[in-house]
Amino acid sequence: MPDPIHDREHLSELVTHVAEAARDYLARVDQLPAGGTAGRDQAAGHFAGELPEDGDGSVATVTRLLTDGVQAAVNSAGPRFFHFVTGGSTPAALAADWLTSTLDNNAALWVSSPLGSKLEQVAIGWLKDLFGLPRSWGGVLTTGATMSNFTALAAARQWWGEEQGSNIAERGMSGLPAVPVMASGFIHASAEKALSMLGIGHKAVQLFTSDSTGAIDLAALALEGALVGLKGAPAIVIATAGEVNAGGFDPIAAMADLAHRHHAWLHVDGAFGLFARISPVTADLADGVELADSVIADGHKWLNVPYDCGFAFCRDARLLNAVFGMNAPYFPATEADHPDFLYLAPEMSRRARSLAVWATLAAYGRNGYRAMIERHRGLAKRLADQIRASSDFELLAEPRLNVVCFRYRPAGTPESELDQINRRLGQAIIADGTVYFGTTVYGGKVAFRPAIANWRTTERDVDIILDVARGLADR
């Protein structure tokens, strides 16, 4: 196939072909092994090869994706993929995402996509409402929590500079002191990565932990002492709502109070934990988020929109614009109520992610999300009860939200052997793929941490976890 212009005649056939394959796949995904087929790595290997001089044409190429491609995929869209914190795509979000690619609008400016821009404005407003954040805050869609941490911490860095009379967006950081950053041991690696990208450096983070799980002890006054030691110089404090290993929460309201009494910016990473605020059953966990200066969450986790999607919110939208604003003679002037989100976001050209975010919120509303969060929390507690009732598994932390941290502990096994046994079992679970989750280290112990975040997941999916793990351990 030479020039794509000659491919027009295949487009309809191709779209129908993929739609049919998707329909079949989605009808089966509940039953498929979460980790995909046993030959997944080999199937991925089939894609090796040189750049073709003459392409194979779209029909043959897409057919390869539907055969080898699907064989090489994991079934993370399904209900038994508990690795990391992985959401699926709700029907409304999936359909909207397809339309996003079909329309292929650039959500940089109103003029490049009135649809994408308006829906982003509406979606950001709805998300603030859903999470109980003040309406006056600014917000923007990103590719995920890492870029949201980057975006929000860039605003924090700008504030920190301005507090000392420097405009970092204009002049950089030359001549300025190191940025003091403080956090509990719950801080996620992506917030540290954001600090690396921002020239603050992840080694700048001072950790205040009271135990091996990373939890902070504010009563010990160490964080306050460090802030007092700055003698009024500005600082950044990072709190985590939903720690990745066991779903723990920093005491956000108290950290906000502390930060603001001592001239610090409070940033909250709530990649999945911010969703606790949707239900009165769990809202207390993330109490005080509205007092922070910046807050972020993920879309592709618990909102269940397709990859990739995240949100960054900032009390003072002017700071986002100070960092991410840009100008070029070919950009039109912003008109009232015609938002141009590129001025608040790291990228210039941007996928219109707002279609999926808007569609899923419009389709299911606050009550739909509340029901899902509460169902997932119930499933996490159900699994925890099964672990407690078993004689060969040990619960390592009471699940607060949707992450269950536990390990295999067959009777009579010495503590010194447990890490290795659990690591081996973790590899067997990944290789087997029936249910899918990996290991972490929690409180110094190798542990599992399945996270429930897919709209499809039910009791049937959670109830097989221990049996599958036990069966693999016995082999």
Residue numbers of the site for ligand PLP (CB under 6 A)?
84-85, 144-146, 188, 190, 240, 242, 244, 269, 271-272, 298, 310
What is the rounded distance in angstroms from the CA atom of residue 309 to the CA atom of residue 355? 11
In whole angstroms, the minimum distance from the beta carbon of 145 to ligand PLP comes to 3
In whole angstroms, the minimum distance from the beta carbon of 214 to ligand PLP comes to 12
Please give the structure tokens belonging to residue 123: 């979606």
Which of 113/282 has CB closer to ligand PLP?
Answer: 282
How many CB atoms are located within 10 Å of the residue 129 CB? 12
Q: How far is CA 172 from CA 158, 276, 307, in A?
A: 10, 37, 32
In whole angstroms, the minimum distance from the beta carbon of 241 to ligand PLP comes to 8
In whole angstroms, the minimum distance from the beta carbon of 266 to ligand PLP comes to 16
Residues 241, 289 contacting (CB under 8 angstroms): yes
How many CB atoms are located within 10 Å of the residue 427 CB? 13
In whole angstroms, the minimum distance from the beta carbon of 54 to ligand PLP comes to 38
Residues 454, 88 contacting (CB under 8 angstroms): yes
What burial letters (b/e) apply to 15-25, b meaning 16+ CB within 10 Å? eebeeebeeeb
- Per the DSSP assignment, residues forming a β-bridge with 296 are 269, 312
Which of 62/345 has CB closer to ligand PLP?
Answer: 345
Query: Judging by DSSP bridges, how do beta strands 445-448 and 439-442 pair with one another?
Result: antiparallel
SS3 107: coil
In whole angstroms, the minimum distance from the beta carbon of 173 to ligand PLP comes to 24
Please give the helix or strand (H or E) that residue 452 lies within, else none.
none
Which of 145/472 has CB closer to ligand PLP?
Answer: 145
In whole angstroms, the minimum distance from the beta carbon of 139 to ligand PLP comes to 16
CA 81 to chain centre: 15
Q: Length of the chain, please?
A: 475
Which of 113/146 has CB closer to ligand PLP?
Answer: 146
Which of 113/240 has CB closer to ligand PLP?
Answer: 240
Query: Judging by DSSP bridges, how do beta strands 205-207 and 181-183 pair with one another?
Result: parallel
In whole angstroms, the minimum distance from the beta carbon of 252 to ligand PLP comes to 13
Work out the burial of residue 389: count CB atoms within 10 Å of its CB; fewer than 13 is exposed, 13-18 middle, 19 or more buried: exposed
Please give the structure tokens belonging to residue 295: 């807050």
Which of 152/168 has CB closer to ligand PLP?
Answer: 152
SS3 426: helix
Which of 262/267 has CB closer to ligand PLP?
Answer: 267
SS3 151: helix
Which of 120/192 has CB closer to ligand PLP?
Answer: 192
What is the 3-state composition of the chain as percent helix, strand, coil, each rounded to the nearest 5?
45, 10, 40
Residues 221, 243 contacting (CB under 8 angstroms): no
Residue 398: DSSP 8-state = -
Which of 144/234 has CB closer to ligand PLP?
Answer: 144
Residue 186: DSSP 8-state = T
In whole angstroms, the minimum distance from the beta carbon of 165 to ligand PLP comes to 32
- Per the DSSP assignment, residues forming a β-bridge with 126 are none
Which of 269/290 has CB closer to ligand PLP?
Answer: 269
In whole angstroms, the minimum distance from the beta carbon of 404 to ligand PLP comes to 15
In whole angstroms, the minimum distance from the beta carbon of 192 to ligand PLP comes to 10
Residue 403: DSSP 8-state = B
In whole angstroms, the minimum distance from the beta carbon of 438 to ligand PLP comes to 12
Strand order in the sheet with 138-142: 138-142, 310-314, 294-298, 264-269, 235-240, 181-183, 205-207
Which of 168/183 has CB closer to ligand PLP?
Answer: 183
- Rg of the chain on CA atoms, in Å: 24
Which of 66/207 has CB closer to ligand PLP?
Answer: 207
* AA letter at 303: L
